[in-house]
Amino acid sequence: MPIVGVKDTRKQQLIDATMASIAELGLQHTTIISISRRAGMSSGIISHYFGGKQGLIEAALRYLLGQLGRELRERMARTDGSPEQRLQCIVEANFSEFQRSELTAKTWLSFWSRSMHEPGLQRLQQINNARLYSNLRYAFARRLPQQAATEAARQVAAMIDGFWLRSALSTDPQEGFAAAETLCKRFALNALNPTTNSPAQV
């Protein structure tokens, strides 16, 4: 088991506090003071570890991206790596309990809205989009011709993002997320097997 040092623990506490502040106040109204109060630390430690508020905000987004990647790897490790299972793992990771929790959902929504105006956040969001597309295309390319794999990956990526956003903004997010996961899995598996007449079971 890796040893977590005081520095890493404090950094994670600040990231957690940042997400809590964003969820409560929104990204625009989150400040070094609102973060440091929630973390129970001095505001100066944020500059010491992250160089300021913007550095900490980007670290929080990298944390969300890292969690998404970790959850996908953990799911993939429990499969035989077939295209069907890869696609299901990708969808499940994007709709996992962590990714659809209220705290995480509000943080993602704030990041998305600000990424249009913040180059650093926009770059990280583009990395996230590229990873999702790349993972999907790899799975589809094992079964479909190149162009078909590309189109299927783009369609499923758009569905995942669209359904996730719609669910997060709905009056009953958890019900929406559960339904969205099922629909995205079904669409992805049908796209993988276009000659199959009956809907894929998920």
- Largest CA-CA distance found in the chain, in angstroms, rounded: 62
Mean per-residue pLDDT, 25-44: 93
What span, in angstroms and rounded, lies between the C-alpha atoms of 192 and 60? 34
Cα distances from 102 to residues 53, 69, 106, 164, in angstroms, run 22, 19, 6, 13
Within 13 Å of residue 202, how many CA atoms lie on the same side as its CB?
Answer: 22
Confidence of residue 4 (pLDDT cuts 50, 70, 90): low
Q: What structural domains does the chain harbor?
A: 4-192 (1.10.357.10)
What span, in angstroms and rounded, lies between the C-alpha atoms of 138 and 148? 12
pTM over 0.85: yes
- List, for residues 129-151, the tens digit of each pLDDT value: 999 999 999 999 999 999 999 99
